[in-house]
Structure formats: structure tokens, C-alpha cells
Amino acid sequence: MKLNITIQNTKGLHATLAAKLVDLAHKYDAHIELHYEDAIVDAKSILGLMSLAVPSGENIVLVATGPDAEAAVKDLRKLLQ
């Protein structure tokens, strides 16, 4: 499952938001990636997410595969928008 998301948080994908995203991603039996510009990182990796340095208003692509992919994308979208 693939979904384009615009980061709405005024601080972008900052440390607190990234930590929440990692915690939520770990609840699902799915491989989840975030794509930003030319980078692809595992959504279950705090260091990977922080390395993206996504500012507010930028678009990312959330990609999930596996048994819980649809539920994971739905809940992660709520967190990121």
C-alpha cells in the first residue's frame, strides 16, 4: 500500500514526532518505509527518520507491505497529517 502525505506539523518530522511514528510502526506486522526526495528509510528506525529532516509542508510517500499494511498506513497517516 502506498500513500502520499504532506507533513502538517509546523516543526516538520522532528524528534518527538519521529519517536511517536516509530512506536506506532512497531505495533504492526508490516514492512513500512518513508520515501522523501531520493531517500528511503525504515519507518521503524528513529535514526533513519531523523536523517530525512523533512520540513513542514513537504510531501513524503508512505509505503507498507505485509499483513497489517492497510491498518498501518491508516494510523500513520493520522499521526503525520
The C-alpha cell that represents 75 in the structure block: 494510523
Annotation marks residue 35 as catalytic: no
Which is it for the CA torsion 68, 43, 17, 79, positive or negative? negative
Q: How many alpha carbons fall within 13 Å on the CB side of residue 12?
A: 13
The C-alpha cell that represents 68 in the structure block: 497489517
CA distance 43 to 10: 20
Known catalytic residues are 14
